[in-house]
């Protein structure tokens, strides 16, 4: 079944993409949750017109994302965490703390949902890698220096 995505869906596509999925996935999950609509001929024509009108706006967004990516690529963000003497953190360091540290230390605001920490979560003191997705295919790599709070 052909559908038009109304929002970004992980591992499937981006907003306004026309994709083919199995009928059950579309009818039981995507369409009821408002993530997609059935791709009829009239909706395809409306989508084509909308895409034409949005191309200018998308180009500006892409340029902003590229500038932000060049600004944060390779940065090291220091994140404080309460830890025991063995180096184990009480709890874990997550993307919310990384986004706040990036804003405080480098004056760059990113959405916490766009930060992917290598290995899901950080539970020990050390240096880690993270990827920040700023736009569909524009990503920046940052280093996380997790240290113990005094």
**Do the Cβ atoms of 92 and 104 come closer than 8 Å?**
no
Instruction: Give counts: helices (H), strands (E), the chain.
Output: 3, 9
Reduced to 3 states, what is the DSSP secondary structure of residue 12?
A: coil
The Cα angle at residue 121 between residues 120 and 127, in degrees rounded to 5: 105
Domains and their CATH numbers in the chain:
2-65 (3.40.5.10), 69-148 (3.10.430.100)
| Tens place of pLDDT per residue across the chain (150 aa) | 999 999 999 889 998 899 999 999 999 999 999 999 999 999 999 999 888 888 888 889 999 999 999 999 999 999 999 999 898 999 999 999 999 999 999 999 999 999 999 876 799 999 999 999 998 889 999 999 999 987
Nearest of 102, 99, 95, 93 to residue 147 by alpha carbon: 93
Query: Which of these, 133, 130, 132, 131, lies nearest to 144 by C-alpha position?
Result: 130
Residue 51's pLDDT is what? 85
């Amino acid at each position: 079944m052909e559908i038009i995505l109304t929002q970004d869906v992980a591992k499937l596509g981006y907003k306004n993409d026309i994709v083919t999925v199995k009928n059950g996935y579309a009818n039981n999950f995507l369409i009821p949750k408002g993530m997609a609509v059935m791709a009829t001929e009239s909706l395809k024509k409306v989508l084509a017109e909308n895409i034409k009108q949005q191309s200018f706006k998308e180009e500006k967004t892409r340029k902003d994302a590229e500038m932000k990516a060049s600004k944060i690529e390779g940065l090291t963000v220091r994140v404080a965490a309460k830890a025991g003497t063995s180096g184990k953190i009480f709890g874990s360091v997550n993307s919310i703390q990384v986004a706040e540290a990036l804003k405080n230390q480098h004056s760059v605001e990113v959405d916490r949902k766009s930060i992917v920490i290598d290995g899901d979560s950080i539970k020990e003191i050390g240096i880690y890698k993270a990827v920040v997705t700023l736009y569909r295919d524009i990503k920046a790599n940052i280093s996380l220096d997790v240290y113990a709070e005094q």
